[in-house]
Amino acid sequence: MGLEKGEEVTEVMEGAASSLFSDVLWPGFPINSAILDLPDEAGGGGSESPDFMELLGLQDLSQSLFNSTPPIQTPQAAPPAESSETVNFPATPNSSSMSSSSTDAANDADRVAQATAPEAVGDEGAELGRGKTIRGSNSKGEKKKGQKRQREPRFAFMTKSEVDHLEDGYRWRKYGQKAVKNSPFPRSYYRCTSAVCSVKKRVERSCKDPTIVVTTYEGQHTHPSPVVPRGTHRYAPPPPSAWSSPYLPIFSSCLPSTQTLEFRQHISNTPPFDYATSFAASVGDARRHREPAAAAAAGAVRDHGLLQDLIPAKVMKTDQE
DNA sequence: CGCCTTTGACCGGCGC
DNA sequence: GCGCCGGTCAAAGGCG
């Protein structure tokens, strides 16, 4: 199902409520990023989703983003070799900026809402599903008819990037890849490699704009984000408060009370807890096959003090109001 | 050797 | 009931 036109869109946050997030604003989050805070249950159903980007005025939003937000200049962050973009964001060395107007994203959000299997409730269920539970005898038996599984909070980032899998400080294991209908690009499925963590993420490219990567996180990391890379680099881990639940209430409080879609323009609204820190850490995980620039960039974005430099004064002002 | 990706198959939900 | 589609599993292979 997804968001139908005419369906309520409670929040298209363009500066409001930002103070809520100001203290947790991930300094490394791409300025030109769009965050799709996906409803827990958008209704499921039809795969043909409406263009909710359009619905939300994202098109205009993204345009204004690119037009009004000057490229963030960060002395530390050299443009990654992989990126041909000149507008780079320090926190995402392999991603340059963000925003999109693609219906692909809409589809994604829509699909996300309907996609996940209904058995697992919370981390436990999801993790069980990792094994045989889903296929096992109890998965069906435990599910009550007509009762859908509660989903993990999901959060979609649309990032303009040349690489599909954006480093976010966590270690992920790819467990699947599927061709997506109406899209020439496959969707990749990743799971956090931590045994105690069941966070998943999906990565796919927008069919409308192949330079845009839609990353959808599901679940909540139950461990510190900085999985120390096996490589040479490590970034400064976020404070414990950043990777445990404290931010969750904030996140939760922002979830629409009704089944609505919420689009957050991160400039004024932060991604929730570890999604933010996760991304903040992203560049840090330069692990293999990532350019050294990532490491440099990682160091560049740790300091919240840079926030002022990263966010246009205008935005900051808005943020404080 | 450990970890990761790839990839075909399988499963379940949903629409027709 | 059937078919489509998304999500997941797991074996095999690759890489450092």
- pLDDT, tens only, A208-233: 777 888 888 888 777 776 544 443 33
| Residues facing residue A192 across a β-bridge | A172
Rounded to whole angstroms, what are the CA distances from A312 to A156, A176, A180?
A: 23, 39, 37
pLDDT on residue A215: 85
Residue A190 belongs to some domain of the structure: yes
Number of domains in chain A: 1
Strand C near-CB residues (< 7 Å), A 110-139? 111-112, 114-117, 126, 129-132, 134-135
Rounded to whole angstroms, what are the CA distances from A43 to A178, A214, A258, A270?
A: 22, 20, 11, 25
- Please tell me which residue, A201 or A290, carries the higher pLDDT value: A201
Q: Are strands A11-13 and A262-265 parallel, antiparallel or unpaired?
A: parallel
| Residues facing residue A263 across a β-bridge | A12, A36
Is A51 a residue whose pLDDT tops 60? no
Residue A187 belongs to some domain of the structure: yes
Residue A74 belongs to some domain of the structure: no
pLDDT on residue A37: 55
Residues above pLDDT 70, as percent of chain A: 22
Secondary structure (H, E, C), chain A = CCCCCCCCCCEEECECEHHHHHCCCCCCCCCCCEEEEECCCCCCCCCCCCCHHHHCCHHHHHHHHHHHCCCCCCCCCCCCCCCCCCCCECCECCEEECCCCCHHHHHHHHHHHHHCCCCCCHHHHHHHHHCCCCCCCHHHHHCCCCCCCCCCCEEEEEEEECCCCCCCCCCEEEEEEEECCCCCCEEEEEEECCCCCCCEEEEEECCCCCCEEEEEEECCCCCCCCCCCCCCCCCCCCCHHHHCHHHHHHHHHHCCCCCCCEEEECCCCCCCHHHHHHHHHHCCCCCCCCCHHHHHHHHHHCCHHHHHHHCCHHHHHHHHC
Strand C positions within 7 A of protein Cβ atoms: 4-10, 16
Please check whether residue A13 is in contact with residue A269, taking contact to mean a CB–CB distance below 8 angstroms.
Answer: yes
Please check whether residue A308 is in contact with residue A301, taking contact to mean a CB–CB distance below 8 angstroms.
Answer: no
Residue A179 belongs to some domain of the structure: yes
pLDDT on residue A152: 65
Instruction: Specify the nucleotide whose C1' lies closest to residue A181 (CA).
Output: C5
pLDDT confidence band for A31 (50 / 70 / 90): very low
pLDDT confidence band for A198 (50 / 70 / 90): confident
The encoded tokens of residue A276 equal 């933010």
* CATH code where residue A177 lies: 2.20.25.80
Most confident of A37-46, A75-84, A144-153, A211-220: A211-220
Convert the pLDDT of each residue in A138-185 to its tens digit.
333 333 333 444 556 677 778 877 777 777 778 888 999 998 888 888
| Residues facing residue A154 across a β-bridge | A38, A218
pLDDT on residue A163: 75
Cβ of A138 near strand B (distance < 7 A): no
Other beta carbons less than 10 A from residue A195's beta carbon? 10
Please check whether residue A172 is in contact with residue A201, taking contact to mean a CB–CB distance below 8 angstroms.
Answer: yes
> What burial class does residue A217 get, using C-beta atoms within 10 Å of its C-beta: 0-12 exposed, 13-18 middle, 19+ buried?
buried
Convert the pLDDT of each residue in A185-195 to its tens digit.
889 999 888 77
Cβ of A118 near strand B (distance < 7 A): yes
Question: Mean pLDDT lowest for which of A17-21, A39-43, A88-92, A311-315?
Answer: A17-21
pLDDT confidence band for A36 (50 / 70 / 90): low
Residue A15 belongs to some domain of the structure: no
The amino acid sitting at A297 is A
The encoded tokens of residue A250 equal 């904030």
Residue in A245, A228, A314, A308 with CA at minimum distance from that of residue A25: A308
Strand B positions within 7 A of protein Cβ atoms: 3-16
pLDDT on residue A189: 92
Cα separation, A316 vs A189, in Å, equals: 35
A201: containing domain = 173-226
| Residues facing residue A222 across a β-bridge | none
The encoded tokens of residue A49 equal 């989703």
Instruction: Specify the nucleotide whose C1' lies closest to residue A288 (CA).
Output: C16
CA of A154 to C1' of C5 (A): 21
Is A56 a residue whose pLDDT tops 50? no
Cα separation, A100 vs A281, in Å, equals: 23
Average pLDDT, chain A: 47
Convert the pLDDT of each residue in A235-271 to its tens digit.
333 333 444 333 332 233 233 333 323 333 332 333 4
CA of A188 to C1' of B7 (A): 12
Is A285 a residue whose pLDDT tops 60? no
Q: Are strands A154-161 and A95-97 parallel, antiparallel or unpaired?
A: antiparallel
pLDDT on residue A273: 41
Residue A197 belongs to some domain of the structure: yes
- The average pLDDT across A12-29 equals 32
The residues near A118 (Cβ < 8 Å, ≥ 6 apart) are A143, A147, A148, A149
